[in-house]
Amino acid sequence: MKKIIASIAVSILCITLTCCIGGYAQVSAQNRKIPIYCVDRTDNYVAISFDAAWGADKTRQIMDVCESYNVKATFFLVGFWIDKYPEMVKEIDARGFEIGTHSETHPQMSKLSAEKCRQELASSCQKIYELTGKMPKLFRPPFGDYNNQLIEIATELGLYTIQWSVDSLDWKGLSAKQIAERVQKSKSGDIILCHNNSDHIVEALPLIFESLKLKNLQFCPIGEIIYKDNYYIDNTGKQILNIKNDNI
């Protein structure tokens, strides 16, 4: 009898814990902050971005191809990359491309203290400002890694935290055709992830631009495709206007 009572007690405890854990998970999910992965738009605009952390050999060629297709892209720059290629940073800005921060040292920022996260963002933003005279408004977390603390600090610093909805996987050594095939699925409001020094990105860009042109898609910088206020982000990372109007 004692064993039966003990067994029942354990079962009740397990059920209680499960309910509590389930309730905690639900509350946590509701309070979880999410970056902008894509935007709820129907005007056929998409944004293409290039993360720059290592190397710069292809950066000027990327800009050349973008300009030949009248595409203004967004470059996310890491602080140590800025230190190594200050003239390239100036050229990116001078040629009319948008610049955001990709942190100072490219760490896994969800594992950093609040103070260190703030330093990573403030330092890299200051370097961009000193070279371009413009304070960045966009931030892409290294490795796509984030938590509530990081997003809150970025917001405090006036930064929109940006992820992506279309991953070119160009860093994996894919051929130009393979990269383009991955990006061809883009639709209105998507944010495309590329890298400035991947093996075949320069050859892939014309294929990307031509294929998306056939879908009647146009390109604009991320800062122009996102909404700046009066929005919410759903559980998939889609940024949606609270009230749609013709003035946005």
**What residue type is 45 in one-letter code?**
Y
Q: List the catalytic residue out of 102, 170, 190, 195.
A: 195
**What residue type is 30 in one-letter code?**
Q
- Residue 106 annotated among the catalytic residues of the structure: no
Which residues are 238's β-sheet partners?
Answer: 38
Nearest to 52 by CA among 96, 94, 99: 99
Q: List the catalytic residue out of 43, 51, 64, 229.
A: 51
Rounded to 5°, the CA angle 169-174-180 comes to: 70
- Residue 40 annotated among the catalytic residues of the structure: no
Active site residues: 51, 195
